Amino acid sequence: QKEVEQDPGPLSVPEGAIVSLNCTYSNSAFQYFMWYRQYSRKGPELLMYTYSSGNKEDGRFTAQVDKSSKYISLFIRDSQPSDSATYLCAMSVTGTYKYIFGTGTRLKVLA
Amino acid sequence: DGGITQSPKYLFRKEGQNVTLSCEQNLNHDAMYWYRQDPGQGLRLIYYSQIVNDFQKGDIAEGYSVSREKKESFPLTVTSAQKNPTAFYLCATYRDVNTGELFFGEGSRLTVL
């Protein structure tokens, strides 16, 4: 079993829809949770960063962490065609060098 | 502007040749990483360095080498011993191990002909 599981998609939604992207993990020591957006042939861009449990909101984006279920989510409200990209989740343990990435979910927002 | 600069963006190599990918940062971050990205496999760690003149192997270090002579620079050499070098290579940094945020460069695409 992989430490981090992420559905590869592709996920296609109409413009304006609410998008839900998810990752599950098995290591209960993870404390930092990140979401990255990656456009084709570009480096990943850090979207959201959460420490421990709870929710964090930034504009149209909301990140949720449920440590009891080992489940994290990224919600995108009022999705736009410019949101079409691959979304990667990533996790790490405090005080270590190691980051574990999901394989990424490819999102297409249709105009 | 502060950031991470990778070069070249695209590189073609013949089999048997070594190539070096450049990564320079002006963020004054301590740690630097090299990842390899292949379709459907996520990011895999090649090497990382937490301080100058020190670096550690990651999960897939075979066929690669690095150096960290300056805080700003962490070049990656893909040697002829790497059996399947065609991939997208990403350099990343973080400020310190307790903040958790990892920042990436724009990547270098290596194709072996």
Tens digit of each residue's pLDDT (9 = 90 or more) over B16-60: 899 999 999 999 998 999 999 998 788 999 999 999 999 999 999
* Rounded Cα gap, residues A24 and A7, in angstroms: 10
Residue of chain A nearest B101, judged by CA positions: A49
Q: Which two tokens stand for residue A70?
A: 């080992």
pLDDT at A42: 93
Residue of chain B nearest A9, judged by CA positions: B40
Residue of chain B nearest A37, judged by CA positions: B104
* Rounded Cα gap, residues A54 and B92, in angstroms: 26
Dihedral angle, C-alpha A2, A26, A61, A78, nearest 10 °: 60
Top-confidence range, A79-88, B10-19, B77-86, B99-108:
A79-88
Q: Which two tokens stand for residue A42?
A: 């570009």
* Rounded Cα gap, residues A78 and A58, in angstroms: 13
What would you report as the CA-atom Rg of chain B, rounded to the nearest whole angstrom?
A: 13
Q: Do A34 and B104 touch (CB under 8 A)?
A: no
Which of B31, B43, B48 is opposite residue A101, by nearest beta carbon?
B43
pLDDT tens-place string over residues A13-69:
999 999 999 999 999 989 889 999 999 989 999 999 888 888 999 999 999 999 999
pLDDT at A57: 94
Count of C-beta atoms within a 10 Å radius of residue A28: 10
pLDDT at B98: 63
Count of C-beta atoms within a 10 Å radius of residue A33: 25
Which residues are paired to A20 by β-bridges?
A75
Lowest mean pLDDT among A60-64, A77-81, B101-105: B101-105
Percentage of the residues of chain B whose pLDDT score is greater than 90: 75
Q: Which residues contact A13 (CB under 8 A, 6 or more apart)?
A: A19, A79, A107, A108, A109, A110
Instruction: Give me the long-range contacts of B44-52 (CB less than 8 A, separation at least 24).
Output: B45/A98, B45/A99, B46/B76, B46/B89, B47/B76, B48/A97, B49/B74, B50/A97, B50/B97
Alpha-carbon distances, residue A66 vs A55, A63, A90 (angstroms): 9, 10, 15
The distance of A73 to chain B (nearest Cα, Å) reads: 18
Give me the half-sphere count of Cα atoms (radius 13 Å) on the Cβ side of residue A73. Answer: 13
Interface subset of A 2-31, CB within 8 angstroms of B: 4, 8, 31
Q: Do A95 and B41 touch (CB under 8 A)?
A: no
Q: Which two tokens stand for residue B52?
A: 């100058």
> Considering only CB atoms, which chain B residues are within 8 Å of A102?
42
Q: Do A36 and B31 touch (CB under 8 A)?
A: no
Arithmetic mean of pLDDT, B68-72: 97
> Considering only CB atoms, which chain B residues are within 8 Å of A51?
100
